[in-house]
Amino acid sequence: MARSAIVIGGSRGIGAAVARRLAEDGLDVAFTFANAKGAAGTVVADVEKLGRRAIARQVDSEDDAALRAFISETSETLGGLDVLVCNAGLLLPGGVEDYAMADYDRMMAVNARAVFSAIQAGAKMMASGGRIIVIGSIVGARTGFPGVSVYGMTKAAVAALVRGAAIDLAPRAITVNTVAPGPTITGMNPADGPMAERITSSVPLGRMADAREIASLVSYLAGPESSFVTGATFTVDGGVSA
């Protein structure tokens, strides 16, 4: 039976690259999307072209019950769960002096609480040797510019959660790791966008990452060769944090 993966937030950007890469690696893939139904359909078609099963469902990561139900139901449909990737995230920028509590609560719900819920629900569906990978951010360790204090806090929180979860799940040989990308080309951060030149100038390698470069590290962490790697944060930022 083929291995299976669930990607929380898999219709665009890094999540879509991860879903495609895991399908290339031979996994059946289920993923959530927030609003991008058309993009989700494209990812489904790409996964199916590779001969793998694909499931896409619109799920609001703020809806804890819906998120847990998706993980449980799709794990059963796919015959188990081998890999869980938590990628869904939200950035609502703003300075601390006048940051709206509604935005704070929403970002905490999507970026932190949903990761905890997904790990908790996913671990229950996994057999020994499962893989959990959380897509974090270098902002969780190094803020670098104004307006992202709350976002950075959420990413620091999930990195800490990953370290603890790695210890809790180690007796079942389930590994838990964080991938922390730096500037990456996505639909929300295009290579020709208004901030691209400023962002690129801060990267020692002189460019932003392609989402497939992030997906390649996820592929390693999802595979058999990473069985002794857990509780770690892997920075992929072209040298920004060096």
Cβ neighbourhood burial of 16 (10 Å; 0-12, 13-18, 19+): buried
Q: Which residue has the tokens 């890094």?
A: 14
Catalytic residue among 99, 104, 151, 220: 151
How far from the centroid of its chain's Cα atoms is residue 10's Cα? Answer: 8
CB atoms near residue 70 (< 10 Å): 22
Q: How does 177-198 read in b/e, with b if 16+ C-beta sit within 10 Å? A: bbbbbbbbbbeeeeeeeeebee
**What are the start-end ranges of the H helices in 95-180?**
101-108, 114-125, 149-169
- Concerning whether 151 is annotated as a catalytic residue, the answer is yes
Contact indicator for 208, 183 with CB cutoff of 8 Å: yes
Q: At what angle do helices 13-24 and 37-49 cross, to 10 degrees?
A: 20
Structure tokens at 137: 């951010």
- Residues with catalytic function: 151
